[in-house]
Amino acid sequence: MPELPEVEAARRAIEENCLGKKIKRVIIADDTKVIDGISPSDFQNSILGKTIVSARRKGKNLWLELDSPPFPSFQFGMAGAIYIKGVAVTKYKRSAVKDSEEWPSKYSKFFVELDDGLELSFTDKRRFAKVRLLANPTSVRPISELGPDALLEPMTVEEFAESFAKKKITIKPLLLDQGFISGIGNWIADEVLYQARIHPLQTASSLSKEQCEALHTSIKEVIEKAVEVDADSSQFPSNWIFHDREKKPGKAFVDGKKIDFITAGGRTTAYVPELQKLSGKDAEKAAKVRPGKRCVKSKEDEQESEKEDESAKPKKGQKPRGVRGKKPAPKKKTEDSDEEDDDADADGGDDSEAEEKIVKTRGRGTKPALKRKPEEKPTSQVGKKPKGRKS
């Protein structure tokens, strides 16, 4: 799933290749789920002949400033991606378009050809992104509701600690709340908590000054490093949990230490129990909970945190699969929310599959129930030399 580094890589690629060029051809997909609030013909007519002046970003949202409004705005969702023909935008997902490949892709939602022949496309295979045409993107939702950008508008350590002191929810959901800090998604949250040696279910208000400082540092270092290498995960430092967070439970290790998987804030979460330990009242509470229920969110999380996406919530009338016990309380959906867990495979499956999936705790032995016929019986260390990884 695109997070701040991936969207920033796209913004920089546009800035380096498209500024000062006039739009001479436009193709907008007839897809009302993605193209939000405007017909394809009106969208096309509004930007045809305009010149791209700059590319801007806040959090995981990007927009193109033209020589006059309105401006195209992109909310990347789960699988949104910018492609520029002939330019490798980012290696996070395949982005160099070959001559032999279909172009523009059948998944293209926004396509423009510039006056020098350069072609740019925004694609979305899963149709959870939003493409809008806005007079002032920063003045309306979702961008107007975003918290400070984690790269461009970092809090001071003092502001960071003060804001945590007021939050009674666990730290992972807070980091995913785009209204608190914008741009941090699931993999970044796991990484910065690991680097800071903080348990994902530690209550934010219980963090010590030293922990706040460590987390502040790890957010800065992880994001800056990921942006520096244009989100090319093969160049991420070898001591990052990122490289092993998608391996199967029992086979995931970082620096020789076992990675465990729980659910925090409705998201599959990777952490290292040996290094990321609960403390204080959180540790006492966890000791009283049966191991099989450690992934259940607290009532405070349900009430106060806003999910980064809607993937953990089954659709109305749909029963959760492979999950026992009570249904989770409904959660408020934010405009900047992504619709599906980023641990899902973004490169396969259709939209119905994407909408049906829910987040499951990994490594707990729970498997999704299968429908059977009635007669059947259920038989902050950044900078080590990176190691190679498929991106």
Active-site positions read 2-3, 60
Count CB neighbours of 336 within 10 A: 25
* Residue appearing with tokens 């496309």: 121
Dist CA 75 CA 292 (whole Å): 36
Dist CA 241 CA 232 (whole Å): 15
Dist CA 116 CA 18 (whole Å): 9
The bridge status of strand 52-58 relative to strand 61-66 is antiparallel
Omega cis (within 30) before 104: yes
Positive or negative CA dihedral for 34, 36, 39, 41? Answer: negative
357 CA to centre of own chain: 16
Dist CA 135 CA 37 (whole Å): 13
SS (H, E, C) 21-60: CEEEEEEECCCCCCECCCCHHHHHHHHCCCEEEEEEEECC
Are 76 and 129 in contact, with CB atoms under 8 Å apart? yes
Strand partners, 66: 52
368 burial (CB, 10 Å; 0-12 / 13-18 / 19+) is exposed
* Residue appearing with tokens 């800056």: 224
Residues in contact with 274: Cβ distance below 8 Å, sequence separation at least 6, in sequence order: 257, 258
Instruction: Count Cα atoms within 13 angstroms, Cβ side, for 284.
Output: 2
Residue 167's closest CA among 215, 114, 100, 228?
A: 215
Q: What φ, ψ does residue 64 adopt, rounded to 5°?
A: -100, 125
State which H helix or E strand residue 260 sits in: strand 260-264
